[in-house]
Structure 1
């Protein structure tokens, strides 16, 4: 149990500043210690609510509303929840009815570049993200708090950097309340003191954050371009616009030639079989053949042995592997199997989960660049090419598509927790293009990931400069 320091007990004034909330977290989280540190800084401090503008003063969430999901881009908008705001690749976001989104009750929930988003409820309460230029036209749920900077008073990149820093994190999370379900309310972050360090410092930090956001938008565009290039070059461009749910449910179908491989109806799903048949019309090689001499299996189960970050590796699980910046526990690599660390350009497929459309089961990531420093749990299929002509970057451009996601789901076996039928997975057809085509697509993916790493570097540098300004 965490207790207050005997020499620094909670005071009545603290309760008044927290709206007389009688929960211990704000007083033990370090929020008040950080506030006192900022109060002692010999610079101007301004309450967050005085640096924002717009609807409800510029710090707001939204009303509970019905969710009408559609798939047609002409009649829907990308919809961001408290978990979705953390992901690196927005291509799999759910889509909300445009009529609902643009209604008077929800129209102000549209995201604008430069906003800082704060997840305000649930397991992810208190996490922050920055709205990029490619998020124009996105809407957010009531579980995402918006902080809209008054750009006449503060630059959006600097405001985000402060809220994303360790100082901002303590102050934002200090306002969390609730027992089973955690919450943050706009009034609990409006009083956060934001230190001002002058135009030169704040502009430098803003430009680093804004540059990182632009690079992440280019990362997204690069991945989308690589996947489009692959499908168009293979002559299966229609699979890019799959409209899965518009094809009707797979009911009342018959299957002939069933073998001992599987008797599960899902494995013979007509919609997925249609995708496989279309792929089969092109020149393809099976995934098992591509990975002969490489790797195609899930990781080994192992016991986690906690370690200090100076001596351990960060273990990334399924959900966090899709975030912009993963968080994870630090474990001893010496007490874990070798396959927790990946070769360059290993494709990892989330291998365990349920069949909900918004679950990560069936989605893929590419491990390259700075992410090679992370360890990954056993809950991924490791896809390592054994063919020098078929790179991991090329495979990833294929695996990240909606068509492959649906085919992988159709290969599921299990009860509540699903996983892939190994024989069906080995038989997955991979389009064979000319070597120059494969190299071009792979180079597009690699360039996108270099931009992602550079974005991380710039954001880290912005936080270092902010911390130096505060502590110096």
Structure 2
């Protein structure tokens, strides 16, 4: 309940009118939805299912790799599907994490571990509701309503009477900032997806019959090919098919170690935590790196051995290089925005390109089905699979000339600038609302 009493007291001092949240949602409290428990029946594609957002997925920039839940499940529970402009709040485990549903989320299914707040747009702007609930006044009240001693939960009635101050023109301005951020993210997502499709077409890479290196299957390989790698995923049907596809593509292949400036993974290190960036740098884990921003900023000491080796720079490509290969393992990130100059965990592998556009091209290839298979085949180890430098040094990818790389990957750099701008706009919206409340309560 940290901060909840103080927030309520300050809101009480505010002379502006205050409405209950349920008075601003569509249909009253029925506009704050807990979808209820569901049966998870997974399918392979969008023809038979809906993209399914977990409580972590709603906070991620890239939604291209999420699972699909059967349409029959959604037909049994229509509250499973979400619409754009809704505010989504995690309600179980790490509660109170929020996302504003953008256009490319519209019609997706979402876990029951996320509350849906549906604004009545005849009464309030959707972006303002999201911005206010994310302030240091709204958020503590949201989280103070939870129950449970070990696993906390949030229910609609816990936040139904949450006070929402009416701030006039500030509401309009906050909404415009939040909506602009959502639009930028949707546009960036479209650009990245279009660029990925364009790359596959330009490289003349066919669709893969197999896309999972851990899928049950068999393959025949020469005994000479078993001298260096004996692990089955490396020689799986998916790996061999992807390898053959790039070898027979339009452009010749080069080793990643040849076209990149450097490939490395920092050593495992002891975490020396400090209070703030005065004494070090913000730290992100291999999970937080995939979010729009870290959920809870933490800082690691500048006295950490090999400190500079952990700092990632704009234009680099990083990916999760430890963990189960069906999760985040191998999914690439193009370093930009809030990730620039941040202290990244040692489980994130680093690819340092020779130019920013080269970094964007490498990122683009690695996110294709072919790139993903070829990265995942590199994993070794049974308990916690990992990727090591010798594996990546021999990794090959198609490498067209500079003009083609720039044409294919240039838009990706701009898309990531849009993602960074969106985060800044969202922060401005929250700060705008906070200042209005602070000034009004004096």
The verdict on a shared fold, with TM-score over 0.5 as the criterion, is yes
- For 1:228, the equivalent position in structure 2 comes to 197
Determine the C-alpha separation between the residues in 2 that align with 1:414 and 1:180.
33
The match for 2:149 among 156, 166, 179 is 179
Candidates 276, 279, 287, aligned match of 1:319? 287
Partner of 1:36: 9
**Distance in 2, Cα, partners of 1:424 & 1:304:** 27
> Could you say which residue in structure 2 is the equivalent of 1:73?
46
Q: Which string of whole-angstrom CA distances, capped at 9 and with x for unpartnered residues, describes residues 163-209 of structure 1?
A: 111212211111222233221111111121111111x1110110000
Query: Is 1:372 aligned to residue 343 of structure 2?
Result: no
**Greater mean alpha carbon deviation, residues 78-87 or residues 222-231:** 222-231
Show the counterpart of 1:290.
Answer: 259
Secondary structure of the structure 2 residue equivalent to 1:408: helix
Which residue does 2:114 correspond to in 1?
144
Work out whether 1:117 is the aligned partner of 2:96: no
Q: Identify unmatched segments of 5+ residues in structure 1.
A: 1-25
Going from structure 1 to structure 2, the CA distance change for 1:390 and 1:469 (only over 3 Å counts) comes to closer
Mapped to 2, the partners of 1:121 and 1:414 lie a distance apart of 33
Whether the 8 Å CA contact 2:293–2:338 is kept in 1: the answer is no
Match of 2:137 in 1: 167
> Quick check: 1:72–1:243 contact (8 Å CA) kept in 2?
no
Deviation, structure 1 residue 344:
2.2
Q: 1:403 & 1:182 partners in 2: Cα distance? A: 41
Is 2:333 the partner of 1:333? no
| Cα offset, 1:63, TM superposition | 2.0
Distance 1:456 1:389 in 2: 21
Q: Which of 397, 408, 427 does residue 430 from structure 1 map onto?
A: 397
Compared with structure 1, are the counterparts of its residues 314 and 389 closer, same or farther at alpha carbon in structure 2 (3 Å cutoff)? closer
Aligned to 1:259: 226
**Contact 1:233/1:433 (<8 A) preserved:** no
Residue 352 of structure 1 corresponds to: 322
- TM-score for both structures, normalised by structure 2: 0.93
Range that drifts further, 364-373 or 76-85: 364-373
Instruction: Tell me the alpha carbon deviations over residues 263-302 of structure 1, each in whole angstroms, 9 at most, x when there is no partner.
Output: 21122111121011111113111112223xx221211222
Aligned to 1:9: none
Cα distance change on mapping 1:95 and 1:156 into 2, 3 Å: same
Greater shift, 72-81 or 256-265, is seen at: 256-265
Identify the residue that residue 470 of structure 1 maps to in structure 2. 437
How many residues were matched structurally? 433
Identify if the C-alpha distance between structure 1 residues 408 and 170 changes in structure 2 by more than 3 Å, giving closer, same or farther: same
The answer to whether the 8 Å contact 1:250/1:270 transfers is: no
Question: Which residue is equivalent to 1:394?
Answer: 361
Matches within 5 A, 1:200-211: 200-211=169-180
| Distance (Å, rounded) in 1 between the aligned partners of 2:289 and 2:205 | 29
How big is the shift at 1:307? 2.4
Alpha carbons of structure 1 residues 468 and 424: separation in structure 2 relative to 1, 3 Å: same
Deviation at 1:389, TM superposition (A): 9.4
CA distance in 2, matches of 1:281, 1:54: 58
Q: 1:405 aligns with which of 360, 372, 375?
A: 372
Give me the whole-angstrom Cα distance separating, in 2, the residues matched to 1:30 and 1:421: 45
Shift, 1:248, TM fit: 10
Q: Distance in 2 between matches of 1:351 and 1:127?
A: 26
Please report the TM-score for the alignment, with normalisation by the length of structure 1: 0.87
8 Å Cα contact 2:22-2:29 kept in structure 1:
no
When structure 1 is superposed on structure 2, of 50-59 and 92-101 the one drifting more is 50-59
Structure 2 residue 211 is matched with structure 1 residue 250: no
Unaligned runs of 5+ residues in structure 2 are: none
**Aligned-residue offset at 1:401:** 2.1
Match of 1:108 in 2: 79
Per the alignment, residue 419 of structure 2 pairs with 452
Q: Does 1:132 align with 2:102?
A: yes
The answer as to whether partners of 2:52 and 2:110 remain within 8 angstroms in 1 is yes
What is the RMSD computed on CA atoms of the aligned residues? 2.0
Contact 1:126 1:176 in 2 (8 A): no
Cα distance in 1, alignment partners of residues 427 and 380 from structure 2: 42
Give the C-alpha shift of residue 420 in structure 1.
Answer: 1.8
Q: 1:418 aligns with which of 385, 388, 391?
A: 385
Give per-residue Cα distances to partners, 1:332-361, cap 9 Å, x unaligned.
234342111123211001011113x3x211
Rounded to whole Å, the distance in 2 between the matches of 1:55 and 1:152 is: 13
